[in-house]
Structure 1
């Protein structure tokens, strides 16, 4: 019987230590998004990799219409979408609405995986690139999240970024 009591006590101590360590890990994980944005992003904001002032890396890609696009062509609006992403399907019409005001040559839409619905919405107003999640444009923007939208200035630097169209205009300078 004393061995059984000792085993239960040891098991209880190990469980308590495990619980404390798990709570510590959870606490650190909750702090992580704020550090990823330099401490100035709202909690829960999507992790867009390029923040204002950054430039995308060098890339070359082919649109669905066979047009070659490179980093030197990027000026205006860039959006990243995914076929299996419900928020992407919600954002696409808003993205297209704003893209119409800029003109098709100033808008790039990158779709991870082929999606006829997204392509139908975006193709009339943007140069559409379909590529894997590790494709050249995704890599150039260090993009790991969909939807993600970027507004780039004439110097190809990010003016604003986020996961919603309102993120672009709340950050963009007047």
Structure 2
């Protein structure tokens, strides 16, 4: 009988120790989560200063597009992406004087129609040549590219880039 009582006490002490350690772990995870910025934006594969990879493709109008002529504002949009549909009209009417290229992943004629009057549009699969050149897996994603084919700025909103956007 004394062995049984000792076993029950030992199990009880181990349970209390487990509870204390679990609560401490939960508190530490909450502190770490609070320390990280909540609005960090989408994960961008090519950060400012990175060089865009090589690619060659054609726009919906049959115009050739390659890394060699790439400069300006590049936007990645995808079918079924609500934020992409919200951003597309603002991207299309952006009056900066910068050349623009919109890359639409998937079959979305409505999105292409919104973008195509004002910008060159490339339609490709989610892992198309332009997406691979930018190592881009997120939409919407915007990149500002300089004359040396390097990323100047990247973000998920027009406000993330150092450009003037319409009101």
- TM-score for the superposition, normalised by structure 1: 0.72
User: Which residue of the partner structure matches residue 48 of structure 1?
Assistant: 44
1:8-37 superposed Cα distances (whole Å, 9 cap, x missing partner) = 99899878877877777787778788xxxx
Structure 1 unaligned regions, length at least 5: 34-41
- Write the distance in 2 (CA, Å) between the matches of 1:30 and 1:108: 37
1:68 aligns with 2:64: yes
User: Which residue of the partner structure matches residue 127 of structure 1?
Assistant: 120
- Please report the RMSD computed on the Cα atoms of aligned residues, expressed in angstroms: 3.1
- Residues 43 and 8 (structure 1 numbering): CA distance in 2 closer, same or farther, change over 3 Å? same
More helix by share: 1
Moved more, 43-52 or 6-15: 6-15
User: Which residue of the partner structure matches residue 130 of structure 2?
Assistant: 137
User: Which residue of the partner structure matches residue 39 of structure 1?
Assistant: none
User: Which residue of the partner structure matches residue 104 of structure 2?
Assistant: 111
Structure 2 unaligned regions, length at least 5: none
- Residues 165 and 15 (structure 1 numbering): CA distance in 2 closer, same or farther, change over 3 Å? same
Aligned length: 160
- Write the distance in 1 (CA, Å) between the matches of 2:72 and 2:149: 8
- Write the distance in 2 (CA, Å) between the matches of 1:50 and 1:138: 11
Deviation of the 1:45 alpha carbon: 1.3
